[in-house]
Structure 1
């Protein structure tokens, strides 16, 4: 395992972790809003047996820099992904995977840089755009309940806001307590101004989806209360070449809820890529 750092186009330092064989297919993991590169849990370890896993801390999250502004500019998010790929000398064959907000980030990258370095794309519990009246960008009931408390400077109010997610990120069951608390801790550790800034932007990546020339896998829980299933359906219906895996009664963090199934489906998808 190696922790690495690269400077993005605007000077923001982006931190990422690399695991797995250097000669394996690159798999870039982009976490969700108020998360970090540790959110993937056991699934990341399993994937590293098959891929060269590159787990990124998005700007404003984890160990990456948190600039005062610029979160509303899709070009910044795109440049962050491009900088990581360049630092790892990846020019072809990569799989980009976005969870939740990470799907918006990878779509920003594809809109700005195209797909020449990419063999396939995975959206899990995700959407490709954000903003009022943007198609495929609905806000789920758990997210609606959490706002605006999750934007608060007050630790007590912010904690209550994040509590509204309940078991959305881990699924039902009593064996996910460690995972749930790790995700909760990462969310609280993200600066309130960053949590808020990520929601105050509008981008519609529909055109990019409609012209995407590489295969896409959409994995989505039918009971996702954070990013509604309709958002995943919108991606699947818009891209030219989509594989679909809708998980009955599953919620938002499929890689935590059933890591074995998550790894198996992702591996099977990658095996179909050129």
Structure 2
């Protein structure tokens, strides 16, 4: 029997759904949640995920923000691009541009939050004026700007050869094996590769359902893009105040990525470390992720931070410096 989904992982009904065309004509599915007229937060999900991935975070934010979530091309309800040429970091940036142009009126700004490939989307879009003028701040979650295959930590270090580990990681990343139905084996594999060891069964189930729903061809084509990813140039041009969130047990984008991103940001707003959390931080620890998004929104988006009610407080932080904070589990 499949584990029951936690109530907050059930996707909430959007108040509005939009169909947005990107620069190359690919149709993107966009959902609007929360409070019309409230400050806007835009959420970009990661590889093999969908808007459903953000359900717990949306539930944390929707009573105080207008929350925009969209399916990356090929994912969820968005159109599957007809050719391999339409999978690229440039396409990701153009998709984000199209979503912002439709959902954030000229002269207004939003906080952008991106998980994994969604964070890479924000970095790839760095320096684009049409995006910069609509961005108040950004939050990059469980992501990297390059060297993804070289620094994956899925294959155990017991495999002593670094070359062999890179080979196995590349084979794993580019696998075209259909995932089929969610099973005990696939749950265990996904938990090991993408989540912290103490992740509850219901949240593992939510992750598995979302990942299994991604078409095999889409998964493989985006894997080719991620295998050669380099968005450092865009990261250097990302001028908005930007915070970074990372799980200490992330095997897909280990902490080296988070530290490198913080070092390269023009306006770093701190690194939030989540002990024992894997790659799926928004599903594993949605309260802390939402609180960090709120922190950036209150500081850089709302004209009157006191007017935006804060979410329930996360566990008290303890850290050695103001720029790096660790949430106590």
Q: Using structure 2 for the length normalisation, give the TM-score.
A: 0.73
Q: Deviations over 1:126-152 (max 9, x none)?
A: 12346667xxxx323169398158521
Which one of 125, 133, 158 corresponds to residue 142 of structure 2? 125
| Pair member with larger Rg | 2
- Provide the residue aligned with 1:226 in structure 2: 252
User: What 5-or-longer segments of structure 1 have no aligned partner?
Assistant: none
Which one of 119, 128, 133 corresponds to residue 103 of structure 1? 119
- Provide the residue aligned with 1:164 in structure 2: 189
Which one of 188, 195, 209 corresponds to residue 212 of structure 2? 188
Give the number of aligned pairs.
269
Which one of 21, 40, 49 corresponds to residue 35 of structure 2? 21
Separation of aligned partners in 2, 1:253 and 1:10: 30
Which one of 75, 83, 97 corresponds to residue 82 of structure 1? 97
SS of the aligned residue for 1:40 comes to helix
Which one of 184, 208, 213 corresponds to residue 234 of structure 2? 208
SS of the aligned residue for 2:291 comes to helix
For the structure 1 residues 269 and 198, does the alpha-carbon distance in structure 2 shift closer, same or farther, using more than 3 Å as the test? same
Deviation at 1:105, TM superposition (A): 1.4
Aligned positions of 1:125-144 closer than 5 A: 125-129=142-146, 138-141=151-154, 144=169
For the structure 1 residues 168 and 28, does the alpha-carbon distance in structure 2 shift closer, same or farther, using more than 3 Å as the test? farther
For the structure 1 residues 5 and 263, does the alpha-carbon distance in structure 2 shift closer, same or farther, using more than 3 Å as the test? same
Separation of aligned partners in 2, 1:116 and 1:128: 22
CA RMSD in angstroms comes to 2.8
- Provide the residue aligned with 2:306 in structure 1: none
Deviation at 1:163, TM superposition (A): 4.5
